[in-house]
Amino acid sequence: MNLDIQLQEGPQRNVVLLSGEVDVYTASKLKETLNPLAEQENKELVVDLSGINYIDSTGLGIFIGALKATEKSNSTLKLIGLNERVKKLFEITGLNEVIDIQANDAREEA
């Protein structure tokens, strides 16, 4: 499966729309997109996962790296639109305690 990435850049917020699967085969593509955005100073990075139907531990690692980069650049990372399966994975691993995860309808607010 592929990973489709769409980017909406703004002056204070960047929104990344993902669809497909995040796994060992697609993680590098995601990392190449997220890391430079996460390193931008004083910006909010919103990642819409509503189109993601599968994510593995490699993908989780990408989000941990993005979180660390946003903390260094005085920015924030927010994940929105997680389906129940993906949300459960973040809960099982405890990442929901360190990454801001919003409800499925949070895109309008983000």
16-47 pLDDT, tens digit each? 999 999 999 999 999 999 999 999 999 999 99
Report how far residue 50's alpha carbon sits from residue 4's, in angstroms, rounded to the nearest whole number. Answer: 12
Which of 3.30.70.120, 3.30.210.10, 3.30.750.24, 3.30.2010.10 is the CATH number of 3-101?
Answer: 3.30.750.24
pTM: 0.92
Q: Which pLDDT score, from 0 to 100, does residue 104 have?
A: 61
Asked if 7 contacts 19 with a C-beta cutoff of 8 angstroms, the reply is no
Do the beta carbons of residue 80 and residue 49 sit within 8 Å?
A: yes
> Under a CB-based contact definition with an 8 Å cutoff, are residues 54 and 65 in contact?
no
Whether 9 has a pLDDT exceeding 90, the answer reads yes
Per-residue pLDDT tens for 40-88? 999 999 999 999 999 999 999 999 999 999 999 999 999 999 999 999 9
**Domain ranges in the chain?**
3-101
CA atoms of 80 and 87, how far apart (whole Å): 10
